[in-house]
């Protein structure tokens, strides 16, 4: 049996919206869009799904395919091409020439480890202890029931590099990659890097000056190297036990000092970026720069060292004396120099506002970045940086089926996903927010209060 | 010989004079009719703003969103002597006027951000520049944001590049009563007075909810929501006593009361000379504040942040109070947990006055994009929303809530020529404000680095110098 899911409502909406006589707004139609377009949640992997007639931005060697198809089976992308023949029992979705992209990845969020910032027991984003902070591992706190996750995924965000937030210490903890589909287990990869901060926290609480930070950084990483060189001798006299760094921190830093996983370095000032590049080269560390307000000034060095930069495209203010050179052109300049650019969501709240990822990418384009490169900065580039490119990041056979059909240009602020798949599962476009919206859609008094709706 | 006045004429004159004297003299002489507004000075830091030099300018053949729910295709606008002279299909082009080709461009009223802390929480952000909250006691009606504004905040210039032509700078929300806010024209100036929007009313910033509780919970209170409300009521009760003391003095000329500049401000609030801009997230908090305002007779112009305004939009409409919202902020604290991206559209749809705000030096640079998101969210839930209508969420409605709609907020004849020309549909992420006019003067031009202001703070900073001023 073949099911045909029309995107007619989707196509009708812009036409309605732009044929506009002046006057007060009025309801034209019931909110048919999500419901009409969304296939009722499909059983996981049971049936193949064929997306037809899409504008397929594969991000891979197949490039962009006009009037293309994507076949999803068993939670994976089975085939990408034109005129694919639907297998038996396939559900067919006609994308009507709308853009189809990989699910997006927000890099550096606290998705899964935060619910309400100011409600302490829901906020697992930074270490409370100041000593064992590299061992602070976000994977220990991922909550698959967080209401932030549906809010993000119905905006097309299907993956997150979930990491600690700025913590005011040098070492802030260990990051993980998660998917934003159904739980219970969202973890895609544990120990995806360790976050350090090289900019002093401002204000009277400032615990560190730059030389303090560097001394601590070197000592801890030296300790970790020594420890891993003779881990068995930890308890012997003269062994790593005599070090200041605790054993759990040293353990957490293993993959970093071996150069397997990145040190994720929060840094803004150009000269400090140069310093950490030199240090990483000398000690064979893998780096990812986070922030990098003045990174454009060091673009050639970053490109040469093959160090990706997580950019907040909109950060163009001299927020401190460390980023006086902040500019809207940061992403475009880095990209032009050959640096791998990755986007974080809006800097105010990278987790609750994970859905701003497309707006961030769109603004990079508005300020000179190539459109396809901006899309790569929220798909392929983070996949590579976090070591999950074999299973995510492009629309290529064999990868997890994180696929989004958009109702317009995915990077424009007026667009939204019409259909979202994560690991092959169709995601209902529902969140706590859509439910609240429906509850209060009609304010007229009924017999019973809103709580009964 | 002069003509003689007939006797009945003389009698008539005398009678009329006596009648007039009877009617007028007691009123002139009686202090009972001196109002708070007459007696309490209200503008001790007067505006010195003067429009920058301008030439008559016509933007010809653009798509014009007037802010009055109209979208004019292939239309023109003439700005002359700082005012909007004509808008429409047939606009005169005076000799010597600058003609700007508007083909493919959009024109809107200048964007007004009703909620900003530029200048009081400027960039760079550090202890020396942190001037937004007088968080020393929960009630500080005596302070004014205009006395904290640092006009060299680079944020002003970035906002200008985003099409912001006027903005209200409020004190923060640490306090129940945070102080007076001020409306500025977004022009570079060495003094705050030089930016001050001439004749714009002051507002009083007040705050509901979590913030005052958090700041004062362990410093003597308020510690609870009920403590907050008791705090507002106590403050206004004192203001009534204060006003009555002065009224009595004006009447009887007894002992002159001591002056209290905080209570003076609150008395002007009671007298509706100063409306309240009320930071409130939750619908139930708004309902409570509406009752407090009724008890004391002050006027709430708008609820700010208002993440739950969509739940009480009918109440807001009934009480003629605007709701000031974000497009999609939520969840950073408990009282912001229920925000929905359709909030602005839902409040608007209910017939209440809805608008965008930034509360943020980054967000203020892209209020057009924020409105675009809010509009798209509303359309997606089935509402019919034109861009001609949505543009009011960042122009007409904030002007209304600030009491300056008679001068700005729409493109209508004789209003101040605060105008933005966009290089495309302002509700696209790819569109930039190309030219920004304030009182008819071209104050920002994306294509001309010489018309891209740079603050003193940024001068001589190595990397900043290569990034291009306002539009960087």
Nearest chain A Cα distance for residue B275, angstroms: 27
Report CB contact under 8 Å: B429, A365: yes
Report CB contact under 8 Å: B310, A317: no
Distance CA B328, CA B343 (A): 9
A5 has pLDDT over 80: no
Per-residue pLDDT at B121: 98
Give the global pTM: 0.92
Report CB contact under 8 Å: A318, B348: no
Per-residue pLDDT at B131: 97
The H or E element containing residue A435 is: helix A432-439
Average pLDDT in chain B: 93
**Is residue B78 a contact partner of residue B93, using CB atoms and an 8 Å limit?**
yes
Higher pLDDT, A2 or A87: A87
Which of chain B's residues have a Cβ under 8 Å away from the Cβ of A328?
A: 471-472
Per-residue pLDDT at A131: 66
pLDDT tens digit string along B211-263?
A: 999 999 999 999 999 999 999 999 999 999 999 999 999 999 899 999 999 99
Residues 6+ apart with CB under 8 A from A236: none
What is the mean pLDDT of the segment spanning A60-64? Answer: 98
What is the mean pLDDT of the segment spanning B387-410? Answer: 98
Distance CA B96, CA B93 (A): 8
Report CB contact under 8 Å: A362, B429: yes
Per-residue pLDDT at B340: 98
pLDDT tier at B9 (50, 70, 90 boundaries)? low
pLDDT tier at B6 (50, 70, 90 boundaries)? low
In this structure, of A10-19, A123-132, A248-257, A301-310, the range with the lowest mean pLDDT score is A10-19
Nearest to B362 among A31, A34, A314 (CB): A314
pLDDT tens digit string along B290-313?
A: 999 999 999 999 999 999 999 999
Report CB contact under 8 Å: A25, B70: no
In this structure, of A228-242, A347-361, A371-385, B261-275, the range with the lowest mean pLDDT score is A228-242
Per DSSP, helices labelled H in B339-412 are 343-349, 367-380, 387-390, 396-401
What backbone phi and psi angles, to 5 degrees, belong to A54?
-100, 165
Surface of B (154-213) touching A: CB under 8 A: 154-155, 158, 210
Tell me what percent of the residues of chain B surpass a pLDDT of 90.
88
B34 has pLDDT over 60: yes
Per-residue pLDDT at B313: 98
Of A406, A431, A358, A399, give the one whose Cα is nearest residue A93.
A406
Per-residue pLDDT at B17: 64
**Is residue A192 a contact partner of residue A386, using CB atoms and an 8 Å limit?**
yes
Which of chain A's residues have a Cβ under 8 Å away from the Cβ of B376?
A: 413-416
Which of chain A's residues have a Cβ under 8 Å away from the Cβ of B106?
A: none
pLDDT tier at B462 (50, 70, 90 boundaries)? confident
Of B136, B134, B131, give the one whose Cα is nearest residue B216.
B136
Of A361, A348, A346, give the one whose Cα is nearest residue A415.
A361
Report CB contact under 8 Å: B328, A16: no
Report CB contact under 8 Å: A203, B385: no
Per-residue pLDDT at A29: 33
Residue of B nearest to A364 (CA): B430
């Amino acid at each position: 049996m073949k099911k045909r899911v029309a995107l007619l409502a989707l196509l009708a909406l812009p036409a309605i919206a732009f044929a506009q006589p002046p006057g007060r707004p009025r309801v034209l139609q019931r909110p048919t869009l999500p419901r009409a377009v969304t296939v009722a949640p499909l059983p996981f992997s049971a049936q193949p799904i064929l997306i037809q007639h899409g504008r397929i931005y594969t991000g891979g060697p197949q490039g962009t395919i006009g009037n293309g198809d994507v076949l999803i089976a068993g939670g994976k992308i089975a085939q990408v091409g034109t005129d694919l023949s639907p297998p038996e029992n396939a559900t067919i979705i006609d994308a009507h020439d709308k853009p189809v992209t990989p699910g997006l990845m927000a890099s550096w969020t606290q998705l899964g480890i935060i619910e309400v910032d100011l409600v302490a027991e829901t906020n697992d984003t930074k270490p409370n202890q100041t000593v064992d902070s590299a061992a602070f591992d976000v994977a220990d706190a991922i909550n698959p029931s967080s209401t932030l996750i549906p809010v993000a995924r119905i905006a097309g965000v299907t993956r997150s590099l979930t990491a600690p937030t700025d913590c005011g210490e040098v070492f802030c903890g260990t990051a993980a990659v998660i998917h934003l589909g159904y739980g219970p287990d969202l973890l895609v990869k544990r120990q995806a890097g360790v976050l350090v901060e090289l900019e002093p926290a401002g204000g009277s609480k400032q615990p560190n000056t730059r030389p303090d930070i560097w001394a601590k950084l070197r000592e801890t990483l030296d300790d970790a190297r020594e420890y891993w060189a003779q881990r068995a001798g930890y308890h012997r006299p003269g062994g790593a036990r005599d070090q200041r760094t605790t054993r759990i921190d040293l353990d957490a830093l293993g993959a970093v000092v071996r150069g397997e996983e990145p040190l994720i370095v929060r840094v803004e000032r150009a000269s400090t970026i140069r310093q950490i590049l030199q240090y990483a080269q000398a000690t064979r560390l893998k780096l990812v720069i986070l922030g990098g307000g003045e990174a454009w000034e060091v673009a050639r060095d970053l490109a040469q060292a093959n160090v990706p930069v997580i950019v907040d495209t909109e950060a163009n203010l001299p927020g401190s004396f460390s980023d006086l050179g902040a500019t809207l052109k940061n992403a475009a300049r880095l990209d032009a120099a050959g640096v791998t650019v990755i986007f974080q969501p809006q800097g105010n709240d990278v987790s609750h506002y994970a859905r701003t990822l497309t707006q961030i990418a769109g603004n990079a384009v508005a300020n000179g970045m190539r459109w396809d490169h901006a899309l790569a900065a929220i798909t392929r580039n983070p996949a590579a940086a976090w070591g999950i490119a074999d299973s995510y990041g492009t629309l290529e056979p064999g990868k997890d089926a994180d696929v989004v059909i958009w109702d317009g240009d995915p990077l424009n602020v007026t667009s939204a996903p019409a259909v979202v798949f994560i690991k092959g599962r169709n995601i209902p476009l529902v969140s706590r927010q859509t439910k609240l919206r429906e509850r209060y859609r009609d304010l007229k008094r009924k017999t019973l209060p809103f709580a009964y709706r | 010989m002069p003509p003689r006045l007939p006797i009945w004429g003389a009698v008539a004159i005398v009678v009329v004079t006596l009648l007039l004297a009877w009617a007028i003299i007691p009123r002139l002489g009686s202090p009972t009719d001196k109002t708070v507004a007459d007696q309490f000075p209200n503008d001790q830091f007067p505006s010195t703003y003067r429009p920058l030099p301008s030439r008559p300018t016509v933007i010809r053949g653009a798509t014009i969103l007037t802010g009055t729910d109209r979208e004019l295709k292939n239309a023109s606008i003439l700005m002359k002597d700082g005012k909007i002279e004509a808008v429409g299909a047939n606009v005169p082009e005076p000799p010597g006027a600058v003609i700007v080709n508007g083909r493919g461009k959009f024109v809107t009223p200048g964007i007004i951000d009703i909620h900003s802390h530029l200048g009081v929480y400027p960039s760079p952000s550090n202890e020396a520049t942190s001037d937004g909250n007088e968080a020393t006691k929960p009630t500080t009606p005596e302070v004014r944001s205009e006395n904290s504004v640092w006009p060299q905040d680079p944020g002003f210039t970035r906002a200008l590049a985003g099409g912001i032509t006027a903005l209200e700078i409020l004190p923060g929300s640490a306090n129940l009563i945070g102080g007076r806010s001020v409306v500025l024209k977004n022009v570079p100036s060495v003094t705050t007075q030089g930016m001050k929007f001439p004749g714009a009313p002051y507002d009083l910033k007040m705050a509901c909810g979590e913030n005052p509780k958090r700041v004062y919970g362990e410093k003597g209170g308020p510690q609870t929501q009920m403590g907050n409300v008791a705090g507002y009521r106590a403050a206004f009760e004192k203001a009534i006593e204060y006003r009555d003391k002065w009224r009595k003095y004006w009447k009887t000329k007894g002992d002159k009361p001591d002056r209290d500049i905080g209570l003076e401000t609150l008395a002007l609030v009671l007298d509706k000379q100063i409306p309240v801009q009320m930071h409130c997230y939750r619908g139930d908090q708004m309902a409570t504040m509406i009752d407090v305002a009724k008890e004391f007779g002050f006027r709430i112009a708008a609820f700010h942040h208002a993440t739950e305004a969509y739940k009480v939009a009918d109440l807001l409409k009934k009480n003629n109070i605007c709701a000031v919202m974000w497009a999609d902020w939520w969840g950073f604290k408990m009282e912001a947990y229920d925000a929905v991206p359709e909030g602005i559209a839902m409040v608007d749809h209910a017939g209440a006055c809805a608008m965008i705000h930034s509360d943020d030096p980054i967000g203020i640079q892209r209020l057009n994009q924020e409105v675009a998101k809010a509009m798209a969210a509303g359309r997606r839930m089935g509402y019919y929303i034109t861009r001609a209508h949505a543009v009011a969420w960042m122009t007409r409605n904030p002007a209304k809530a600030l009491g300056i709609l008679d001068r700005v907020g729409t493109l209508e004849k004789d209003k101040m020529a605060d105008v933005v020309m966009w290089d495309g549909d302002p509700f696209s992420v790819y569109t930039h404000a190309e030219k920004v006019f304030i009182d008819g003067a071209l104050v920002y031009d994306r294509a001309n680095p010489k018309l891209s202001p740079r603050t003193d703070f940024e001068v001589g900073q190595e990397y900043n110098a290569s990034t291009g001023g306002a539009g960087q």
